């Protein structure tokens, strides 16, 4: 398949599912890890897709790319996940062109987050694009777009209160515990998983609940021990998971495991438990969630927490959208000028030919650097006139005539 089709906004698509139309059990079917991401990139080369990246978090899985049609991207994604194309399309949104561009701006700025203004997504977006770039799937279009998106996100964060009040999924978990667990300082808390979300949750537990009765368990024990040492907490090996679960009053699960980590036999008859599962897919077995001694909370339920912080953030949305609109306008201008690159390259070559033309022998005596400066000036002026008047052919001819008249 020819992969040299014109790369512009009209060929840019996003296909994805998120918390708005699918619950965590469905989203979990389309969660991807690094091995799956690599396989998607390998398949993209065969499919003729040369620019793409995949964003997979607890709240969304999205594939962005320049393609002939969005179904190329859908096939690439679903070909490496547990879910089918039919299941994906049942909950998916597909956006093209300016709508797809606006979507990635909204995602990076926290406007599309499950908790409004949550900026954890920015780091995840950077990681996703870096992975694709290392695989050779980030070209000029994607590079420029992401740079513009990240700058807009930074401007939103610095110039609005959209993220005011510090609320993220990790912090929402702590809010829930504070609101629903009396005398929390006297309770034993177990945190399973010390990746990014686990680390953030752990630090919030220490900072906002003023407790250090926290035990950390991670599949890689060194990571749990490192964080425990840093915060003055306790860690335990994975082999002690069942004993630690039975001893805990509050359990927070933040793992990336594809298989269930917390099983029914771990909890049955083990006393009252509050379990908060921040994992996608869920890491608490279905039959464990329904035990009479278990109160279960997941990321979807946490997102429903409403307080003054969210009302304040909602009032900042118009400011954020105005900043995004400015970023999108600048990006659109860059894309528009990029359409004229073939013409300007041809013009540059034609001007160079005129320099070597027998009818212009005096030109050969000019210094090469001076000629380059003169040609670049003509190109810049021509590009400006094309932008103002949208007359490609007329400006091409005008530039040639101008260059010739200056030389005579």
Residue 174 has pLDDT above 90, yes or no: no
Q: Do 53 and 107 meet the contact criterion of CB atoms below 8 Å apart?
A: no
Residues 135 and 201 in one domain: no
117 burial class (0-12, 13-18, 19+ CB within 10 angstroms)?
Answer: buried
Predicted confidence at residue 407, as pLDDT, reads 47
Q: How many CB atoms lie within 10 A of CB 386?
A: 22
Predicted confidence at residue 373, as pLDDT, reads 65
76: Cα within 13 Å, side-chain hemisphere: 33
Mean of pLDDT values over 2-26: 80
CATH code for the domain in which residue 47 is found: 3.30.460.30
- pLDDT category of residue 6 using cuts at 50, 70 and 90: low
Residues 151 and 263 in one domain: no
Q: Do 289 and 296 meet the contact criterion of CB atoms below 8 Å apart?
A: yes
Residues 212 and 331 in one domain: no
Say how far apart CA 188 and CA 137 lie, in whole Å: 47
Residue 338 sits at the vertex; the CA angle it makes with 335 and 344, to the nearest 5 degrees, is 160
Residue 342 has pLDDT above 80, yes or no: no
Q: Do 28 and 19 meet the contact criterion of CB atoms below 8 Å apart?
A: no
- Residue 374 annotated in ligand binding: no
Residues 43 and 158 in one domain: yes
- Residue 194 annotated in ligand binding: yes
Residues 155 and 13 in one domain: yes
Say how far apart CA 10 and CA 3 lie, in whole Å: 15
- Using the structure block, give the residue that is written with the tokens 């998916």: 92
Mean of pLDDT values over 24-41: 91
Residue 302, SS3 per DSSP: helix
Q: Do 251 and 192 meet the contact criterion of CB atoms below 8 Å apart?
A: yes
**Helices (H), strands (E): how many in the chain?**
19, 10
- Residue 58 annotated in ligand binding: yes
Domain that holds residue 366: 361-406
- Residue 57 annotated in ligand binding: yes
Residue 304 inside a domain? The answer is no
- Residue 59 annotated in ligand binding: yes
Q: Do 192 and 275 meet the contact criterion of CB atoms below 8 Å apart?
A: no
- Reference 57, options 108, 133, 5, 101; nearest CA is 108
Residue 108 sits at the vertex; the CA angle it makes with 90 and 197, to the nearest 5 degrees, is 85
Residue 405, SS3 per DSSP: helix
Residue 233 inside a domain? The answer is yes
Residues 150 and 187 in one domain: no
Predicted confidence at residue 293, as pLDDT, reads 93
Residue 1 inside a domain? The answer is no
98-156: pLDDT as tens digits: 999 999 999 999 999 877 888 778 989 999 999 999 999 999 999 999 999 999 999 99
Predicted confidence at residue 25, as pLDDT, reads 79
Mean of pLDDT values over 61-80: 96
Predicted confidence at residue 39, as pLDDT, reads 96
CATH code for the domain in which residue 243 is found: 3.40.50.720
- Residue 255 annotated in ligand binding: no
Q: Which of 10-19, 251-260, 373-382 has the highest mean pLDDT?
A: 10-19
Task: Count Cβ neighbours within 10 Å for each residue of 8-30 and write b for 16 or more, e otherwise.
Answer: ebebbbbbbbbbeebebebbbbb
Mean pLDDT (the chain, rounded): 84
Predicted confidence at residue 362, as pLDDT, reads 53
Positive/negative CA dihedral, 134, 136, 140, 146: negative
Predicted confidence at residue 137, as pLDDT, reads 96
Residue 112, SS3 per DSSP: coil
Q: How many CB atoms lie within 10 A of CB 156?
A: 27
Residues 65 and 92 in one domain: yes
Q: Higher model confidence: residue 211 or residue 5? A: 211
Q: Do 66 and 11 meet the contact criterion of CB atoms below 8 Å apart?
A: yes
Residues 182 and 128 in one domain: no
Residue 361 has pLDDT above 70, yes or no: no
Residues 241 and 369 in one domain: no
Residue 210 inside a domain? The answer is yes
Q: Is 58 a catalytic site residue?
A: yes
Residue 4 inside a domain? The answer is no
Instruction: Outline where 340-367 has alpha helix (H).
Output: 341-356
Distance separating the N- and C-terminal Cα atoms of the chain: 49
- Residue 195 annotated in ligand binding: yes
How many structural domains are present in the chain?
3
Residues 105 and 217 in one domain: no
Active-site residue, selected from the candidate residues 58, 78, 202, 335: 58
Rg (Cα) of the chain, in Å, rounded? 27
Bond preceding residue 281 cis, omega within 30 of 0: yes
- Residue 120 annotated in ligand binding: yes
Residue 354 has pLDDT above 90, yes or no: no
Residues 119 and 19 in one domain: yes
219-245: pLDDT as tens digits: 999 999 999 999 889 999 999 999 999
Say how far apart CA 119 and CA 153 lie, in whole Å: 9
Residue 357 has pLDDT above 60, yes or no: no
Residue 284 has pLDDT above 60, yes or no: yes
Residues 158 and 97 in one domain: yes
Predicted confidence at residue 299, as pLDDT, reads 81
Predicted confidence at residue 79, as pLDDT, reads 95
């Amino acid at each position: 398949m020819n992969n040299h089709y014109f790369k512009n906004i009209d060929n840019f698509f996003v296909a994805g599912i998120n918390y708005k139309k699918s619950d965590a059990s469905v989203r979990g079917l389309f969660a991807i890890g690094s091995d799956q991401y690599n396989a998607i990139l390998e398949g993209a080369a065969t499919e003729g897709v040369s620019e793409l990246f995949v964003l997979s978090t607890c709240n969304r899985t999205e594939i962005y790319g320049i393609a002939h049609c969005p179904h190329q991207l859908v096939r690439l994604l679903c070909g490496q996940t547990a879910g089918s194309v039919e299941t994906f399309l049942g909950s998916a949104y597909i956006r093209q062109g300016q709508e797809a561009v606006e979507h990635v701006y909204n995602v990076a700025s926290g406007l599309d987050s499950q908790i409004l203004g949550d900026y954890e997504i920015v780091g995840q977006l950077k990681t996703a694009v870096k992975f694709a770039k290392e695989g050779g799937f980030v070209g000029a279009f994607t590079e420029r777009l992401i740079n513009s998106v990240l700058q807009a996100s930074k401007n939103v964060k610095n110039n609005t209160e959209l993220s005011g009040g510090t609320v993220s999924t990790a912090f929402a978990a702590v809010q829930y515990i504070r609101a629903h667990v009396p005398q929390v300082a006297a309770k034993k808390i177990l945190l399973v998983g010390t990746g990014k979300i686990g680390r953030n949750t752990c630090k919030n537990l220490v900072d906002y609940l003023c407790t250090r009765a926290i035990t950390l368990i991670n599949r890689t024990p060194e990571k749990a021990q490192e964080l425990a040492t840093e915060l003055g907490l306790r860690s335990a090996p994975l082999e002690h998971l069942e004993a630690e679960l039975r001893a805990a009053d509050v359990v927070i699960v933040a793992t990336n495991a594809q298989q269930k980590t917390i099983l029914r036999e771990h909890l049955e008859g083990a006393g009252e438990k509050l379990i908060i599962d921040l994992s996608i897919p869920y890491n608490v077995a279905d039959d464990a969630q329904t035990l009479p001694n278990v109160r279960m909370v997941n990321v979807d339920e946490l997102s429903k927490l409403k307080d003054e912080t969210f009302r304040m953030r909602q009032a900042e949305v118009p400011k954020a959208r105005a900043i995004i609109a400015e970023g999108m306008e600048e990006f659109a201008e860059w894309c528009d000028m990029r359409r004229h690159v073939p013409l300007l390259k041809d013009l540059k070559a034609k001007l160079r030919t005129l320099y070597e033309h027998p009818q212009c022998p005096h030109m050969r005596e000019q210094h090469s650097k001076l000629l380059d400066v003169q040609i670049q000036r003509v190109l810049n002026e021509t590009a400006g006139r094309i932008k103002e008047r949208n007359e490609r052919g007329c400006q091409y001819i005008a530039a040639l005539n101008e260059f010739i008249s200056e030389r005579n």
